[in-house]
Amino acid sequence: MRGSGGGAAAHKHEVRRTLHPQLRELWSHEPLCYKSDTWLGAAHDSEAEEAGVALREVAGRSFAVLVQAPLKLVAELDILLLRPEDPGAILQHADIDNRLKTLFDALRRPVTAQEIPRDWSPTNEEQPLHCLLDDDRLITRVNVDTDRLLAPDSADDVDLTIRVRLRASSPTYASVMLIS
């Protein structure tokens, strides 16, 4: 994962698409499977949003988000970042702040058309494209551990394991089933 810079929007979208299959699969398991028909429906009135409608449209493309303000949900992240360098060397090779900001942007849905590559045509499986967050401001805690990646294909390889814990800033009827 690169930091911000040239081609950053396309790289963030590439990461978003890489995470999509796992997030899509998450919606088929408890407890989300009980709400997926309702929350992934196309209704966008204010009453439906309060109940947790997860679809957002940006530039004519649909994105499904789990962590969203109407549900009063926030995300806490534990990240294991493996790189083909000595532990801690990430600070010498690339700016960890920029890498994390790139990751946080990739975990959220795009906000503007400029964040979506013009040549991206979603496949049937990417309609909607599943994202963790509606807004990266909904991340309230981050813990990052770094270590050595022992089987890299290149010096730029990064392997991430991200544990997400959902927490309700104020539990709602719709979100109480999602928090532990």
Predicted pLDDT of residue 120: 94
Residue 136 CB contacts under 8 Å (≥ 6 apart), including other chains: 104, 105, 107, 108
Give pLDDT, residue 39: 79
**How many residues appear in the chain?**
180
**Cα separation, 88 vs 91, whole angstroms:** 6
In angstroms, the CA 37 to CA 176 distance is 18
Q: In which band, very low, low, confident or very high, does the pLDDT at 175 lie, cut at 50, 70 and 90?
A: confident
Report pTM.
0.84
pLDDT higher than 60, residue 24: yes
When pLDDT is cut at 50, 70 and 90, the band that residue 25 belongs to is: very high
* Residue 48 confidence (pLDDT): 47
Q: Which stretches of the chain are assigned E, i.e. beta strand?
A: 55-58, 61-67, 73-83, 129-133, 139-148, 159-168
Cβ(12)–Cβ(112) below 8 Å: no
According to the model, what pLDDT value does residue 170 have?
85
More confident residue, 70 or 85: 70
Which residue ranges make up each domain of the chain?
8-172
Q: What is the pLDDT of residues 37-47, one digit of tens each?
A: 777 875 444 44
What is the DSSP secondary-structure string of 11-41?
HHHHHHHHHHHHHHHHTTSTTGGGTHHHHTS
- Decide if pLDDT at 180 tops 70: no
